[in-house]
Amino acid sequence: MNHSFRQISFAVAFAASALTLPNAAHAYTAEAQQMCTGDAFRLCSAEIPNIPRITACMVQHKSELSPGCRAVMDRDSAPQPVKTGPDLE
Protein backbone atom coordinates (compact mmCIF):
# COMPACT_ATOMS: atom_id res chain seq x y z
CA MET A 1 0.00 0.00 0.00
CA ASN A 2 2.76 2.45 0.91
CA HIS A 3 4.57 1.61 -2.35
CA SER A 4 1.38 2.37 -4.36
CA PHE A 5 0.94 5.67 -2.57
CA ARG A 6 4.51 6.64 -3.48
CA GLN A 7 3.92 5.75 -7.13
CA ILE A 8 0.74 7.82 -7.19
CA SER A 9 2.46 10.70 -5.41
CA PHE A 10 5.26 10.58 -7.95
CA ALA A 11 2.77 10.64 -10.83
CA VAL A 12 0.92 13.56 -9.26
CA ALA A 13 4.15 15.44 -8.60
CA PHE A 14 5.35 14.82 -12.13
CA ALA A 15 2.07 16.12 -13.52
CA ALA A 16 2.23 19.16 -11.27
CA SER A 17 5.76 19.85 -12.39
CA ALA A 18 4.75 19.51 -16.02
CA LEU A 19 2.49 22.47 -15.38
CA THR A 20 5.21 24.51 -13.81
CA LEU A 21 8.19 23.84 -16.01
CA PRO A 22 8.47 25.09 -19.58
CA ASN A 23 10.56 22.12 -20.72
CA ALA A 24 9.28 18.60 -20.11
CA ALA A 25 12.85 17.35 -19.80
CA HIS A 26 13.13 19.00 -16.38
CA ALA A 27 12.60 16.75 -13.40
CA TYR A 28 9.87 17.57 -10.94
CA THR A 29 10.85 19.72 -8.00
CA ALA A 30 10.38 18.74 -4.39
CA GLU A 31 8.61 22.06 -3.86
CA ALA A 32 6.09 21.35 -6.64
CA GLN A 33 5.46 17.91 -5.16
CA GLN A 34 4.98 19.31 -1.67
CA MET A 35 2.74 22.17 -2.75
CA CYS A 36 0.63 20.45 -5.43
CA THR A 37 0.15 16.80 -4.46
CA GLY A 38 -2.78 17.57 -2.16
CA ASP A 39 -4.47 19.65 -4.85
CA ALA A 40 -4.01 16.91 -7.42
CA PHE A 41 -5.62 14.37 -5.08
CA ARG A 42 -8.42 16.79 -4.17
CA LEU A 43 -9.22 18.03 -7.66
CA CYS A 44 -7.98 15.35 -10.06
CA SER A 45 -7.98 12.01 -8.22
CA ALA A 46 -10.09 10.40 -10.96
CA GLU A 47 -7.23 11.02 -13.42
CA ILE A 48 -4.48 9.34 -11.35
CA PRO A 49 -2.10 7.81 -12.53
CA ASN A 50 -2.53 9.21 -16.09
CA ILE A 51 -0.01 12.07 -16.07
CA PRO A 52 -1.30 13.92 -19.16
CA ARG A 53 -4.85 13.81 -17.78
CA ILE A 54 -3.71 14.97 -14.32
CA THR A 55 -1.86 17.83 -15.99
CA ALA A 56 -4.90 18.83 -18.04
CA CYS A 57 -7.10 18.61 -14.96
CA MET A 58 -4.76 20.79 -12.90
CA VAL A 59 -4.71 23.41 -15.67
CA GLN A 60 -8.50 23.29 -15.87
CA HIS A 61 -8.78 23.79 -12.09
CA LYS A 62 -5.99 26.36 -11.75
CA SER A 63 -8.32 28.86 -10.08
CA GLU A 64 -9.14 26.25 -7.42
CA LEU A 65 -5.53 25.38 -6.54
CA SER A 66 -4.15 26.17 -3.12
CA PRO A 67 -2.17 29.41 -2.91
CA GLY A 68 1.11 27.50 -2.51
CA CYS A 69 0.60 25.30 -5.57
CA ARG A 70 -0.59 28.24 -7.67
CA ALA A 71 2.46 30.26 -6.59
CA VAL A 72 4.83 27.44 -7.60
CA MET A 73 3.05 27.06 -10.93
CA ASP A 74 3.05 30.78 -11.65
CA ARG A 75 6.67 31.26 -10.63
CA ASP A 76 7.99 28.28 -12.55
CA SER A 77 5.96 28.97 -15.68
CA ALA A 78 7.11 32.60 -15.90
CA PRO A 79 9.40 33.25 -18.85
CA GLN A 80 13.04 32.88 -17.92
CA PRO A 81 15.29 35.84 -18.68
CA VAL A 82 17.33 35.49 -21.84
CA LYS A 83 21.03 35.41 -21.10
CA THR A 84 23.20 37.67 -23.17
CA GLY A 85 26.81 38.57 -23.04
CA PRO A 86 30.25 37.55 -24.21
CA ASP A 87 30.00 34.05 -22.75
CA LEU A 88 27.12 33.17 -25.09
CA GLU A 89 28.83 33.42 -28.45
Whole-number mean pLDDT of the chain? 74
Q: What is the pLDDT of residues 36-62, one digit of tens each?
A: 889 999 999 999 888 888 888 988 999
**3-class SS string, 16-52:** HHHHHCCCCCCCCCHHHHHHHHHHHHHHHHHHCCCHH
The fraction of the chain above a pLDDT of 70, given in percent, is 53
Q: Is 74 helix (H, G, I), strand (E, B) or coil?
A: helix
If we measure between CA atoms, which residue out of 43, 42, 55 comes closest to residue 11? 55
Q: Rounded to the nearest 5 degrees, what angle is found at the Cα of 22, between the Cα atoms of 12 and 24? A: 55
